[in-house]
Amino acid sequence: MKIDSQQNTDRIVLIVDDQVENLQIIGNILKVYNLKKAIATNGFEALEIAQKIKPDLILLDIMMPELDGLQVCKKLKENPKTSDIPIIFLTAKTQEEDIVAGFEAGGVDYITKPFKTSELLSRVKTHIELKIQKDIVAKQNESLKELIKEKNELMAIAAHDLKNPLQVIIGFAKILEDRTNLLPDNEIAEIAHYIRISGEGMYRIITDLLDLNSAEENQIEFNIVLFELNELISGIIDKYSVACKEKNIKIHFEHKNKQIHIQADPTRVMQVIDNLISNAIKFSPFDKNIYIKTRIIERNEDTNILRFEIKDEGPGIAPEDMDKLFIKFAKLKNRPTNNENSTRLGLSIVKKFLELMGGKIWCESNYGNGATFIFEIPQKISNTKDRD
């Protein structure tokens, strides 16, 4: 990044000199770069202002009464709040020991009086540019730290969620190992069933994490084809028939017998709808209804919108949870009502997939009165053959 006279209005240089005319001269010279200036006429004032406004550069006179420039510099370097502000000394002499003392105190450069405009400008320019670079690196460091923290959290949660099913698998495998000959076939089949369910649970957590990762990195390839949506939805509903029966939940699919052909990636659309249906079942109490609707809305000459709606009679979403709904691993009030799995990754994947398909998702809910999740995916007109 280059210092640019149009862009430096937020960069501040603190000028410290007990001679007012010097402050004026330097202030005028700095106008070339559009830098903001602050001034201090003694060392104490300089320390106070530096701490308060955190300038990007300090031009510091060495020879000042009471607290001289070298002492001010040392104090600034000792204070973590001001220690990284670059300091250029202003010195009347070019005596070697003065210059060495300046560098030892923590200065980055020096300028001799009387000032040459070009010299002052080029030194200020160099150090402001360095400061800008340093700020960029510091920011990048911060976001890297944030990223590492997030990845660590993710690892901890994933490891925690994988541990339970793994323990089930190990436990049942041990039973089989110890008592193979004593167990009747039906018990072996039951154990195999739990091992499979646990394995599938682990597999799903891992694929969810990989999917989310690819989606966040924009590395998902969508396989866009023309397919019939309502049949796909009926298939997902069938998959959950046992879970629904257990909780006496009835799914009403309004457009079951109509056809809606859409152009999208059927696997990803299936993942999206699967999660929404599983959520509606998972968070609803027993003996409730779920209503699903699909339709094509005409938007403009060349775009239609596919709209999917799923409404349940569950707890709804607490107002304070609304913002966290689509955030991975966020802790929300609602918990599964029949001991179902909950990794809290589903909706974040759903949102990301829909966004990558050019669509969007939102939730409407009166807390205590169920929730409706709605998503839309735009469709080029030639791709949507069936209207509502």
Ligand X SMILES: Nc1ncnc2c1ncn2[C@@H]1O[C@H](COP(=O)(O)OP(=O)(O)OP(=O)(O)O)[C@@H](O)[C@H]1O
Closer residue to ligand X in complex, CB, 344/385 = 344
Closer residue to ligand X in complex, CB, 230/275 = 275
φ/ψ of residue 32, rounded to 5: -55, -40
Residue 43 touches which of ligand X, Mg ion, none (CB < 5 to 8 A by kind)? Answer: none
Cβ contact 312:290 at 8 Å: yes
Closer residue to ligand X in complex, CB, 41/337 = 337
Residue 345 touches which of Mg ion, ligand X, none (CB < 5 to 8 A by kind)? Answer: ligand X
Verify binding: residue 332, ligand X, rule CB under 6 A. Answer: yes
Looking at 87, 132, 269, 345, which residue binds ligand X (CB under 6 A)?
345
Residue 112 touches which of Mg ion, ligand X, none (CB < 5 to 8 A by kind)? Answer: none
Verify binding: residue 337, ligand X, rule CB under 6 A. Answer: no
Verify binding: residue 165, ligand X, rule CB under 6 A. Answer: no
The residues that bridge with 40 in the sheet, in sequence order, are 16
Looking at 258, 261, 293, 344, which residue binds ligand X (CB under 6 A)?
344
Residue 102 touches which of ligand X, Mg ion, none (CB < 5 to 8 A by kind)? Answer: none
Least CB distance to ligand X at residue 216 (A): 15
| CA proximity to 96, closest of 108, 115, 112, 73 | 112
Which residues in 239-278 contact ligand X (CB under 6 A)? 275
Verify binding: residue 279, ligand X, rule CB under 6 A. Answer: yes
Q: Which stretch binds ligand X (CB under 6 A): 76-84, 149-157, 186-194, 345-353?
A: 345-353
Residue nearest to ligand X (CB): 346
Closer residue to Mg ion in complex, CB, 90/349 = 349
Cβ contact 29:121 at 8 Å: yes
Least CB distance to ligand X at residue 279 (A): 3
φ/ψ of residue 285, rounded to 5: -70, 180
Which residues in 181-240 contact ligand X (CB under 6 A)? 208
Closer residue to ligand X in complex, CB, 45/313 = 313
Residue 8 touches which of Mg ion, ligand X, none (CB < 5 to 8 A by kind)? Answer: none
| CA proximity to 337, closest of 319, 312, 373 | 312
Verify binding: residue 289, ligand X, rule CB under 6 A. Answer: no
Nearest-angstrom CA–CA distance, 306 and 379 = 7
Looking at 64, 280, 296, 361, which residue binds ligand X (CB under 6 A)?
280
Residue ranges that bind ligand X, judged by CB under 6 A? 208, 275, 279-280, 282-283, 312, 314-315, 317, 325, 332, 334, 341-348, 371
